[in-house]
């Protein structure tokens, strides 16, 4: 696959099955980086300050951070699941 410039949020990039699989598997460094990003976002979420006069803002910030955490967890899980599917554990 050549480098593709993404011009729209709705632009689909054609991938072969092997490209799709390799695109789902992250290196150890990439997984570590995703995990560190999760920690940073979790800390932001814990440090949110609730103010009774601005409940909507708090709820929006909390929902945004929750969504980010869920996306990062999904990427980590996808990588692990894909890795296991192509390298199943050996039976003893």
Give CA separation, 83 vs 18, 19, 38, 66, 88, in Å: 13, 14, 21, 26, 8
Looking at the domain assignment, is residue 8 inside a domain? no
Query: Are the C-beta atoms of 65 and 44 separated by less than 8 Å?
Result: yes
Ranges under pLDDT 70 in the chain:
1-2, 92
Between CA 25 and CA 5 the distance in angstroms is 21
Q: Are 60 and 50 within 8 A, CB to CB?
A: no
Q: What is the pLDDT of residue 77?
A: 97
Q: Which pTM does this prediction carry?
A: 0.83
pLDDT at 2: 63
Q: Does 5 reside within a domain? A: no
Residue 75 forms part of a structural domain: yes
- The answer to whether position 57 is within a domain reads yes
What residues make up the domain containing 51? Answer: 25-86
The reported pLDDT for the residue numbered 91 is 72
Total tally of structural domains belonging to the chain: 1
């Amino acid at each position: 696959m050549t480098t593709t410039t993404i011009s729209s949020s709705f632009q689909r990039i054609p991938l072969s099955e092997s490209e799709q699989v390799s695109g789902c598997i992250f290196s150890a460094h990439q997984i570590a980086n995703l995990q560190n990003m999760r920690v940073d976002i979790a800390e932001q979420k814990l440090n949110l300050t609730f103010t009774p006069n601005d409940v909507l803002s708090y709820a929006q910030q909390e929902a945004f951070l929750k969504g980010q955490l869920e996306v990062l967890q999904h990427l980590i899980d996808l990588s692990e699941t894909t890795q296991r599917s192509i390298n199943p554990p050996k039976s003893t």
